[in-house]
Structure 1
Amino acid sequence: MNAEEDLIAKSRNGDIAAFEELISRYERKIYTVAYRFMGNHDDASDVAQEALIRAYHAIKTFRGDSSFYTWLYHIVANIARDELRKRNRNQTTSLDAPVLNDEGDMFRQLADHVMTPDRVYEEKEFQQYLQSLIDALPVEYRLVLVMREIQGFAYEEIAAHLHCSLGTVKSRLSRARQILRTKITSDRELAEERARRLPERKVSGKG
């Protein structure tokens, strides 16, 4: 039995000190997961705190079928999902300025190795724009997108966490990507059209 297994065994027997030591190894990860879903410090802290409370009361049910971290993640994800659905709104999720290619894969767009001040500003603006699009996704789509693209979970793991079929996970992820691609394309075309009209307005103004 390794150190973690020993702490788990003691925690299951009601040893509070052992549980606190066990959880201290994962507190930062728990908060990070919560923040990815909730998008701000206050909500992430609330979700993380609730997850710790639930974990303490449920530790006796942990059988070791998965890693302890996976078990904790499941608790955090469920709390965040329920909270988002209850509020019927979404929060901001940071994706470090990713974009979608034609295949629907997410990747970081690095046009230059050296970022000029103007480029940094543009990247920041685009990140905020993309975040607003993700915020507008239905909760079910956003959860799958975050778990797959941000947390890197396999489709099977997402299905288990969200209690849905593998087909549903793939369908929701595909739909989320399509919504983002469509909106980005539409907004880009609108921006280009407005840019083309600017010279016309200037000429008209002079006349």
Structure 2
Amino acid sequence: MSLLQHQEAVLIEKAKTGDVESFELLIASYQKRAFNIAYRMLGNLEDANDITQEALVKVYRSIHNFKGNSSFSTWLYSIVNNVCIDFIRKNKKAKLLYIDKQQDGESYQREIPDEINTPECLFEKNEIKRMVHDAINQLNYEQRNIIILRDIQGFSYQEIAEMINVSVGTVKSRISRARSNLKEIISENYKVTS
């Protein structure tokens, strides 16, 4: 066990006894990523802030249930993920970002961008990000969630499996299906040919 893991284990044990200061120290390094997960899932800063806070309160209230079968971060992020899913289910009309789409019907080809950060390249990169973000928001919440966890947040298959309580094989299958649907959405909405 590394020194950091030992320090985290000590903070977890103190937090389990109700030590608020230890809990705050424990979650300090995880709050930004927890917010990013919520923001990517919900697409709204205000909702993401609220959901992140709600998830952290749940973590605090249920930390005594943390058994250490997975890493603390995986356990915490799974709670954030579940709170987001509950929010989406309760608010089926959750707002998505970038609803305005260009529907001029023209197809075009994109050149491979030069790595120089000229204004044109930066604009192109931002347009691609917007296009992909818009397409992700069109996926159902299960597929959006799996894409965010794997391709945006960079969690391993094993971590995702622990977070959403399924097998690694199921995670791989869902990611494959979600990526396929994402490619289809991009092709249909933006007339991109593969």
TM-score, normalised on structure 1?
A: 0.72
Aligned CA distance change for structure 1 residues 163 and 91 (closer, same or farther; 3 Å) = farther
TM-score, normalised on structure 2?
A: 0.77
Shift of residue 49, structure 1, vs aligned partner: 0.4
Q: Which runs of 4+ in 1 moved over 6 A?
A: none
Instruction: Report the Cα distance in structure 2 between the residues aligned to 1:125 and 1:14, rounded to whole angstroms.
Output: 47
Aligned CA distance change for structure 1 residues 110 and 13 (closer, same or farther; 3 Å) = farther
Q: Pairwise mapping of residues 23-42 of structure 1 onto structure 2 (< 5 A)?
A: 23-42=27-46
Asked which structure has the greater RCO (Cα within 8 Å, sep 6+), the reply is 2
Identity among equivalent positions (%) equals: 40
Aligned length: 176
Partner residue of 2:84? Answer: 80
C-alpha contact (below 8 Å) 2:74/2:162 kept by paired residues: no
Unaligned runs of 5+ in 1: 94-108, 192-207
Aligned CA distance change for structure 1 residues 156 and 115 (closer, same or farther; 3 Å) = same
Partner residue of 1:113? Answer: 115
User: Is 2:127 aligned against 1:134?
Assistant: no
Shift of residue 60, structure 1, vs aligned partner: 0.8
> One-letter code of the match for 1:14?
G
Measured on the aligned residues, the alpha-carbon RMSD in Å equals 2.7
Instruction: Report the Cα distance in structure 2 between the residues aligned to 1:49 and 1:112, rounded to whole angstroms.
Output: 41
Unaligned runs of 5+ in 2: 99-110
Instruction: Report the Cα distance in structure 1 between the residues aligned to 2:95 and 2:155, rounded to whole angstroms.
Output: 20
**Structure whose CA Rg is larger:** 1
Shift of residue 143, structure 1, vs aligned partner: 0.9
C-alpha contact (below 8 Å) 1:11/1:19 kept by paired residues: yes
Shift of residue 151, structure 1, vs aligned partner: 1.8
Instruction: Report the Cα distance in structure 2 between the residues aligned to 1:65 and 1:85, rounded to whole angstroms.
Output: 28
> One-letter code of the match for 2:134?
S
User: Is 2:52 aligned against 1:48?
Assistant: yes
